[in-house]
Amino acid sequence: MSELTERFLQLFTDAERLVAASAQRPDSASQRESFMSNLRDAEKRDSRFKADAGTTLRVCASLRNVLVHERYKARYLAEPRQELVDELQRLIDRLHNPPRVIQHFKCSIREFSEADAIGAVLRYTAEHDFSQVTVRRSGRLELLSANTLQRWLAHHAAAAIIELDATVGDVLQYREPGATEIRFAPRECTLTDAQAAFAGGQSENLLALVITERGRAEEKPLALVTPWDLGALAVLLA
């Protein structure tokens, strides 16, 4: 057995344990289940195993089966490519120590109050080229989005009366009913978790994923991810 093959098989054994753990099966149960069965359950439970990770692990599983179960004159029929072994190593490193949002998107977030004048908000968004701001109301963090501002402006433009001394609280009354524009996650939130938060039909209105200590709206924001950060997220996860 070559050193490369030995390294690959050792890495795959580590991957098997990680997949079984994410599938939430104890060691005794995981041994009775196939790797592919565990992987399918892990993909349902853990966003780290979706997309490219699942594809890479399936390729590695096929190769592992050939190496372990197939021989010709007591010799291996194949040998892993160096780039595949390196990719498996990177994948396992990410599974053991997944990159977290707070490591890459930590920022200082200004909080407005519902008593602030909307004119101050508009000047702030223009100065920083932001499309939304955060508002602390009754102790909870909320989002004042461009969509809400547009609804407020449209309502008052019809009456030809737009008063910039109107309060943030007044404008927040024009939020789209039922739309979830802000969501919270704890500091352990990974980049993969953040990417998954913006995926799917239920997240079509999500404009801000805010990281706090325990993922609560009453806490201080530590980091922020918006749909405009998805490109950077994809690069970091590549």
53-109 pLDDT, tens digit per residue, is 788 899 999 999 989 888 877 777 889 999 999 999 999 998 888 889 999 999 888
Q: Residue 73: which residues within 8 A CB-CB, separation 6 or more?
A: none
pLDDT of residue 31: 53
pLDDT of residue 144: 96
Distance CA 6, CA 64 (A): 11
pLDDT > 70: what percent of the chain?
Answer: 92
Residue 84 half-sphere exposure, CB side, CA atoms within 13 Å?
19
Q: Average pLDDT for consecutive 10-residue bins of the chain (238 residues)?
A: 91 92 67 79 80 84 90 82 94 89 92 95 91 94 94 80 85 90 95 87 84 96 93 86
pTM of the predicted model as reported, rounded to 2 decimal places: 0.74
> Measuring CA to CA, which residue among 63, 62, 102 is closest to residue 190?
102
**Which residues on neighbouring strands pair with residue 225, listed in sequence order?**
209
Alpha-carbon Rg for the chain in angstroms:
24
pLDDT of residue 28: 47
pLDDT of residue 159: 65
